[in-house]
Amino acid sequence: MLTTRTDCLARDAADPLAPLREQFDLPAGVIYLDGNSLGARPKAALARAAHVIAHEWGKDLITSWNTAGWFDLPKRLGDKLAPLVGARPGEVVVTDTTSVNLFKALAGALSLQGEQPARKVIVTERSNFPTDIYMAEGLSSWLDRGYQVRLVDSPDDIAAALGDDTAVLMLTHVNYRTGYQHDMAAVTALAHEHGAVTVWDLAHSAGAVPVDLNGANADFAVGCTYKYLNGGPGAPAFIWVPQRHHAQFRQPLSGWWGHAAPFAMAPAFAPTDGIGRALCGTQPVVSLALVECGLDVFAQTTMAAVREKSLALTDLFIALVEQRCADHPLGLVTPREHARRGSQVSFTHPHGYAVMQALIARGVIGDYREPAIMRFGFTPLYTSFADVWDAVEVLKQILDDEAYDVAAARGAVT
Amino acid sequence: MLTTRTDCLARDAADPLAPLREQFDLPAGVIYLDGNSLGARPKAALARAAHVIAHEWGKDLITSWNTAGWFDLPKRLGDKLAPLVGARPGEVVVTDTTSVNLFKALAGALSLQGEQPARKVIVTERSNFPTDIYMAEGLSSWLDRGYQVRLVDSPDDIAAALGDDTAVLMLTHVNYRTGYQHDMAAVTALAHEHGAVTVWDLAHSAGAVPVDLNGANADFAVGCTYKYLNGGPGAPAFIWVPQRHHAQFRQPLSGWWGHAAPFAMAPAFAPTDGIGRALCGTQPVVSLALVECGLDVFAQTTMAAVREKSLALTDLFIALVEQRCADHPLGLVTPREHARRGSQVSFTHPHGYAVMQALIARGVIGDYREPAIMRFGFTPLYTSFADVWDAVEVLKQILDDEAYDVAAARGAVT
């Protein structure tokens, strides 16, 4: 029995998350399937920014570091984010960028070996988001102790790549191109069996899929707040370290925000207890404060409800594309198996770049990733079942009419 | 001949910078002498934030990375900041935090020695801002090649601390507590004579005093935008690397924003040409964009004009305090010599903390630093000569009346 647009409207009417869409500002005439790259704007963000700028900065000036709680923002927002990723209070800080936090997390993972590290290899996937690999390369080549990065070509190759030489298994939980989701608990257990420590990048997981870092007995994690968490463009990232590693881990970006007594102004560094030692320097308060607006929307639902709708949306998108665009050379890249799927769907097409540009021109915003991959993100807080229908309808029209310009020059790809 | 308040008003009437005060939002009844810690809010910041949030993020969404120039902001703002510190276009990026940039700059300085570094010592002052020392400790202890940090107790001891073992001389140009300003050209020449590379922290210099990095033949510099540059609380910092080091320097925070082709998504890192290799990860766009509002005010004047008024303000403050509070145990910490003075004045008082709290309670906002130092920042864009008179009048009243609570508990000091 084929799905109709009327069916989609009925599912929207029955969707318990549908009212949350009202809390986001989305332009008219746009179907936004790129929340996996930059989340939509919570309406509350505008008033929050105005308050921080006009009142906290403009009127209260320097006193706002204390009175408005600016100093505590990284930890307070971290505690608010914690339930979304299976973290305890006091285990997460929102700070710096994902890349910088990954550097800290990798260094922290290496530091658990103590002064005489016997294990020198960081294992990761060749298909990982490149900056993760770059940061691992940067850290390992600089440390000059024979550290190296070992790349594997497929999730199936991870087990064989782990050995007595492996210090860290660094993985992105949900792959940015394919939407493949690792089994965090099983892979972490595998790493631990080989004596390795895990570092998980949750850029495409936090707010997208249920994550249980402590349940999986993971070791370190970092993530992004500007994608599914809707924190705003380039909003500060987060880093998680479980309590069991707090006393032991060290990281070289040892700035004053990670000091036990930052205002004592002592010339020797002494790391603070707990997650605070993952902090470094003064944070961009306006951007940081806006992260809370996105988290406040998540506080009104559960990741279980988000996941249920996410799978319904991605199942529907896959089914409709395969039904309605069956005559076209589209290849599903994202796993059909629910447990292995994130909250995006990627299809290849020989002219994927041109087709995506045509979609964007008609108001269906996805994005493109080499090679030939059209990427569609599904964000249950503000994407409807009717959006899915309408997006596939536009895709079908473009493909049926060959209404895309293969010769068009490629601009910068975001 | 003693100065009167009428004299101060006359100087304000003749001050060519006085009209710029209208471009800042300052609360009524406050004399703000803490712009050396957090600069006042440019009025333009509110509308700019609203545009970035409502239009660029809310309406244009992901396309704003290109259409609104988000990707180019670090370089575009860097070029706008460059003239304030004697940098050329293409030598500065606004990005990350001062601490993180210092890590990159130190690493960059060490990288100039190549694969077989013979010099292992980073020389700095014990009185440097602590996070600078902490970052140097973090980098050197992690590198595990025998690097060490050597602390000197006074500017006069720097020459003796430099030797064949010295890799880097890392100094903050204007000291955060005392307001002492190094002679950048002379000290850089001294370092170079000993074969060392210089790293300058301009946190209390950029927008405060004229800086000529290229004229001084300096090697690396970092700085802050949320103090004298009025970029907003915790606004992203900057890093400068001169053209002559661009091809050679490397730094370990090798994220995708520093890659030659960030969207090619290649698994191997290849640094881009030029200052771009000092970039790492995705930047907090809202906070970053607000930096421009502060820079736009500086574009309406010159650092020579700012310096002329700054020295007039600090000269006046010193003279008035010494005239009108002569009976009290105040000790001038900041150099009287113009060439050695930044844009702040620090006085010790045995009850400095309590006196500062009393000043703040009466609307004169300075701050306190151990030991016993009351710190007053003078920001020529929005501080008037009458402000100086009035601040000293309040100080005199508090001291004459002993209207401060020595027993008061110390709160968090900002």
Give the other-Cβ count within 10 Å of A23's Cβ.
19
Which tokens hold the place of B296? 């736009």
H/E run at residue B396: helix B385-400
Q: What amino acid occupies position A211?
A: V
Which tokens hold the place of A150? 């070992």
Judge: B100–A280 Cβ closer than 8 Å, yes or no.
yes
B135 interfaces chain A, CB cutoff of 8 Å: yes
Of A134-143, A171-180, B200-209, B355-364, minimum mean pLDDT range: A134-143
Q: Is A226 a catalytic residue?
A: yes
Q: Is A309 a catalytic residue?
A: no
Distance of alpha carbon A349 from alpha carbon A347, whole angstroms:
7
Nearest CA in chain A to B365: A62
Stretch 229-268 of chain B: residues touching chain A, C-beta under 8 Å: 232-237, 251-257, 259, 262-268
Alpha-helix runs per DSSP H in A14-117: 44-50, 64-67, 73-81, 98-111
Q: What is the pLDDT of residue B414?
A: 40
Torsion of CA A141, A145, A150, A155, to 10 degrees: -110
Q: What is the pLDDT of residue A409?
A: 60
Q: What is the pLDDT of residue A144?
A: 73
Cis check for the bond before B371: say yes or no (omega within 30 of 0).
yes
Stretch 286-305 of chain B: residues touching chain A, C-beta under 8 Å: 286-288, 290
Q: Report percent pLDDT > 90 for chain A.
A: 93
Chain B residues whose CB is inside 8 A of the A126 CB are 267
Give residue-wise pLDDT tens across range B257-313: 999 999 888 889 999 999 999 999 999 999 999 999 999 999 999 999 999 999 999
Give me the phi and psi of A36, to 5 degrees please: -80, -10
Judge: A131–B288 Cβ closer than 8 Å, yes or no.
no
Quote the mean pLDDT of chain B: 96
Distance of alpha carbon A75 from alpha carbon B109, whole angstroms:
33
Stretch 171-200 of chain A: residues touching chain B, C-beta under 8 Å: none
Chain B residues whose CB is inside 8 A of the A52 CB are 233
A364: three-class secondary structure by DSSP: strand
Q: What is the pLDDT of residue A68?
A: 97
Alpha-helix runs per DSSP H in B299-331: 303-324
Q: What is the pLDDT of residue A99?
A: 98
Optimal mutation site among B137, B282, B353, interface A, most CBs of chain A within 10 A: B282
Q: What is the pLDDT of residue A414?
A: 40
Optimal mutation site among B24, B131, B285, interface A, most CBs of chain A within 10 A: B131
A338 interfaces chain B, CB cutoff of 8 Å: no
Do A396 and A54 contact (CB within 8 A), yes or no?
Answer: no
Q: What is the pLDDT of residue B412?
A: 44
Best CA proximity match to A268, nearest among B165, B132, B121, B154: B132
Do A200 and A220 contact (CB within 8 A), yes or no?
Answer: yes
How many A/B residue pairs have CB atoms within 8 Å? 292
A133 interfaces chain B, CB cutoff of 8 Å: yes
Chain B residues whose CB is inside 8 A of the A144 CB are 143-145
- Complex ipTM over 0.95: yes
A44 interfaces chain B, CB cutoff of 8 Å: no
Distance of alpha carbon B395 from alpha carbon B388, whole angstroms:
11
Residues of chain A with pLDDT under 70: 1, 409-414
B57 interfaces chain A, CB cutoff of 8 Å: yes
Q: Is B21 a catalytic residue?
A: no
Which tokens hold the place of B287? 């906070």
Stretch 365-384 of chain A: residues touching chain B, C-beta under 8 Å: 365, 367, 369-370
Chain A residues whose CB is inside 8 A of the B264 CB are 370
- Tell whether pTM > 0.95: yes
Q: Is A201 a catalytic residue?
A: yes
Give residue-wise pLDDT tens across range B8-48: 999 999 999 999 999 999 999 999 999 999 999 999 999 99
Judge: A284–B288 Cβ closer than 8 Å, yes or no.
yes
Q: What is the pLDDT of residue A410?
A: 66
Q: What is the pLDDT of residue B409?
A: 60
Q: For chain B, percent helix, then strand, then coil, each to nearest 5? A: 45, 15, 45
Distance of alpha carbon A105 from alpha carbon A119, whole angstroms:
16
Best CA proximity match to A155, nearest among A132, A176, A126: A126
Judge: B57–A232 Cβ closer than 8 Å, yes or no.
yes
Distance of alpha carbon A221 from alpha carbon A290, whole angstroms:
22
Q: What is the pLDDT of residue B413?
A: 45
Closest Cβ–Cβ partner in B45, B134, B257 for A255: B134
More confident residue, B144 or A68: A68
B28 interfaces chain A, CB cutoff of 8 Å: no
B409 interfaces chain A, CB cutoff of 8 Å: no
Which residues have a Cβ under 8 Å from the Cβ of A99 and sit 6 or more positions away?
A131, A132, A134, A135, B253, B255, B256, B257, B280, B281, B282
Distance of alpha carbon A281 from alpha carbon A296, whole angstroms:
26
**Residue ranges with strand state E in A105-256:** 121-125, 148-152, 166-172, 197-201, 220-223, 238-240
Q: Is A147 a catalytic residue?
A: no
Optimal mutation site among B36, B254, B344, interface A, most CBs of chain A within 10 A: B254
Judge: A267–B126 Cβ closer than 8 Å, yes or no.
yes
Chain A residues whose CB is inside 8 A of the B32 CB are 61
Residue B179 has pLDDT above 60, yes or no: yes
Distance of alpha carbon A63 from alpha carbon A70, whole angstroms:
10
Alpha carbon of A251: minimum distance to chain B alpha carbons (Å): 8
Judge: A285–B237 Cβ closer than 8 Å, yes or no.
no
Mean pLDDT of B344-364: 97
List A15, A79, A201, A387, catalytic entry = A201
Q: Report percent pLDDT > 70 for chain B.
A: 98
